[in-house]
Amino acid sequence: MTRGLLSRGDVLAVTLAAACVGGLYARFWQPAVAADTVEVRVAGTSIGRYPLQINRSLTVEGSRGPLLLTIEDGRVRFSKSPCRNQICVHSGWLSHSGDAAACLPSRVSITLSGHGSEALDAVSF
């Protein structure tokens, strides 16, 4: 019995198996889902949800003065903030479900959400 290592059936099985595993990557490792709403919180309490489809500017009264949020083409960003470090402004445009940005001195944060599962921050066991 000196057949080769792989029979025809083996080649078929391994090929199908590899195709299935590839399909799993396509199914479960898709890029992040586009968000459709942004929730704005001040000092931890929500002050409203806004759809990302409608372009507009929002002025949010933070604890250090007004902040400017810009919603444009399904994206949102902090455009102006009274804080010193401008970390929220440097966070730039956000568009994926699960994305978030905050101005801690002003105690203002935004969280994006959309349909489907939210992107993971971390997985631990």
> Under the rule (CB under 8 A), what is the footprint of other proteins?
1, 3, 5-14, 17-18, 20-21, 24-25, 28-29, 117, 120, 123, 125
C-alpha angle 106-77-59 in degrees, rounded to nearest 5: 55
Nearer to other proteins (CB atom), residue 16 or residue 43: 16
Paired with 56 in beta bridges are 71
* Phi, psi dihedrals of residue 71, rounded to the nearest 5°: -110, 125
> Can you list the positions of beta strands (E) in 73-107?
75-80, 100-103
- Comparing CB distances to other proteins, the nearer of 7 and 53 is 7
At its nearest, how many Å lie between other proteins and the CB of residue 105?
Answer: 32
Query: How buried is 31 (Cβ within 10 angstroms: 0-12 exposed, 13-18 middle, 19+ buried)?
Result: exposed
**Of 27 and 84, which has the nearer Cβ to other proteins?**
27
CB 53 within 8 Å of CB 114: no
Least distance CB 18 / other proteins (angstroms): 6
Nearest approach in angstroms of CB 100 to other proteins is 17
Nearer Cβ to other proteins (89/119): 119
The pair of structure tokens assigned to 29 is 């490792």
Nearest distance, CB of residue 9 and other proteins, angstroms: 4
